[in-house]
Structure 1
Amino acid sequence: MSPAVPSRWGPRWSRWVGRFLARVLWRTEVRGRDNVPRTGAAIVVCNHLGLIDGPVVHGVIPRGSHFLIRVEMMTGPLGGILRAAQQITVEGAGREALAQGLAVLRRGDVIGVFPEGTRGAGTATAVHGGAAWLAIQSGAPVVPTTIVGTRRTGESVNIWPRPGRRLLVAFGEPVVLTPPPEVRGGRAKQEWAAERLAEALRQQVARTLETTDLELPLDDPRRENRGGEDQA
């Protein structure tokens, strides 16, 4: 049975909500917008600091996007908004979410993933393999992306910053994860792609930090407290 493909209607309105938050409520500088392909499938992968990362990045991507979001976020009023926005719920092992994400990519649209899997320091030192699997299966380019400023040292991962805070989102050059011929077998290809994706994201974070006075938080309270994950 084919997975239900999220409707394009959700991102058509919800990205304007995200844009309002990014541009009006907070002062978000956006770099590298042209690195997001104007047409066709693309996977935006971003480091993860705090609660507002999702709506901010969703709002500044120059196209509609469907983000993979952990089921724990899909409750209450926020969950209702996310579902109406046709974001993709990640539950359990995430197989259904990945199937939906692949369907979106095959339709020629954009998927967003926070591959660290949880809000924290945003250093991308460890990433999960879902985005790499999507890249291998779809052939879609991956756009490594950095977000900085949404959480500062000592702040909760659930912080809703005061209006006017300065943020930065920087889209890097797209990367196509095509395993070389000597890498054979599904698992080997997956591991190869996951390593390349993680390295591309780490390099993008490092390059961004070299060109801004904004800094990543020095603490990682979610991991230190052994808390649960929130986004895939």
Structure 2
Amino acid sequence: MPSPLYALLHSVVPPVAKAVWRPEIVGLENVPRTGPLLLASNHLSFVDSVVIPIVVPRAVTFLAKGEYFTGTGVRGALSRTWFEGLGMQPIDRDDSRAAMTSLDTALGVLESGGAFGIYPEGTRSRDGRLYRGRTGVAHLALSAGARVVPVGLRGTDRIQPVGSRLPRLARIRVAFGEPIDPVGRYDDLPTGKARRLLTDEVMSAIATLSGQEEAGVYNDRAPDA
């Protein structure tokens, strides 16, 4: 169940944000209202993790950098309250076990019947292309028996471009594709191949929704990503 703080913020933030940015929302009926769910999206900007929960009619958990939760003083307290209120959970990306920890966190959310947001590219695209998906999304879907809804974002890079500290006014589009149910589809395939095929299917759907050129390679994490 969402926390009281989450409920409070979501009674205020989504209406205000929608009035300011007036997002075009397509395919919202494709988002299941209950059950374990992965929202797999392209990644253009920091605000992606705010935009998706604003338009989705159920609580969505995203991971966020641990620094957002550990600040001191009034600013640190406000940052921590904001990110916790949005339903985000901290991850130390410099920890050698960060990838495993993030998968464990996601599995916990899915096994409790929740929705988890994930960026299969791994980090933000700095040139606007869609990079090859890493197979963590398929690992989670197959392990938890969770449906995957592909998400295509457009314009969020104009709200907060890489390197920008303050958001700007820009029109954005959020498109949700049809759910991909992995259950029973890959039972006869080796685990690695099943994960690769499912990930590629998800990324192909994201490319269609986002209209991005596919880079065909993995996106390496930039120092400030």
* TM-score in same-fold range (> 0.5): yes
1:84 is displaced (CA, Å) by 3.9
Deviations 1:171-206 (A, max 9, x none): 100102245233135xx2xx5224422432333332
Task: Assess, with a 3 A threshold, how the Cα gap between structure 1 residues 40 and 196 changes in structure 2: closer, same or farther.
Answer: same
Aligned to 2:139: 133
Residue 114 of structure 1: how far off its partner (Å): 1.7
Residue 152 of structure 2 contacts residue 206 of structure 2 at CA under 8 Å; is this kept in 1? Answer: yes
Alpha carbons of 1:132 and 1:181: their partners in 2 closer, same or farther (altered >3 Å)?
closer
1:85-120: CA deviation from partner (whole Å, max 9, x where unpaired): 331223333323322321221221111112222222
Letter matched to residue 206 of structure 1 = T
Partner of 2:173: 168
Moved more, 174-183 or 76-85: 76-85
Q: Which residue of 1 aligns with 2:223?
A: 227
Name the aligned partner's letter for residue 141 of structure 1: R
Q: 1:192 aligns with which of 185, 191, 194?
A: 194
Instruction: State the 1:33 CA deviation.
Output: 0.7
User: Gaps (5+ residues) in structure 2?
Assistant: 214-218
Within 2, Cα distance between the matches of 1:180 and 1:166? 39
Aligned pair count?
207
Aligned to 2:152: 146
Partner of 1:8: 2
Match of 2:203 among 197, 201, 204: 201
TM-score, with length taken from structure 1: 0.75
Q: Which residue of the partner structure matches residue 81 of structure 1? A: 82
> Deviation of residue 23 (structure 1)?
0.4
- For residue 216 of structure 2, what is the aligned residue in structure 1? none
Question: Of the candidates 42, 56, 60, which is equivalent to residue 65 of structure 1?
Answer: 60
1:31 aligned onto 2:30 = no
CA pair 148-41 structure 1, distance change in 2 beyond 3 A: same
Distance 1:105 1:84, change over 3 A: same
* C-alpha spacing 1:24/1:204, structure 2 compared with 1 (3 Å): same
Are the aligned partners of 1:43 and 1:112 in contact in 2 as well (CA < 8 Å)? yes
1:53 corresponds to: 48
Percent identical pairs in the alignment equals: 29
1:2-33: CA deviation from partner (whole Å, max 9, x where unpaired): xxxxx621543344455245402212011111
Amino acid at match of 2:65: R
Q: Which residue is 2:91 aligned to?
A: 90
Residue 3 of structure 1: aligned partner: none
What is the RMSD computed on CA atoms of the aligned residues? 3.0
Secondary structure in structure 2 of the residue aligned to 1:131? helix
Q: Does structure 1 retain, via aligned residues, the 8 Å contact 2:134–2:199?
A: no
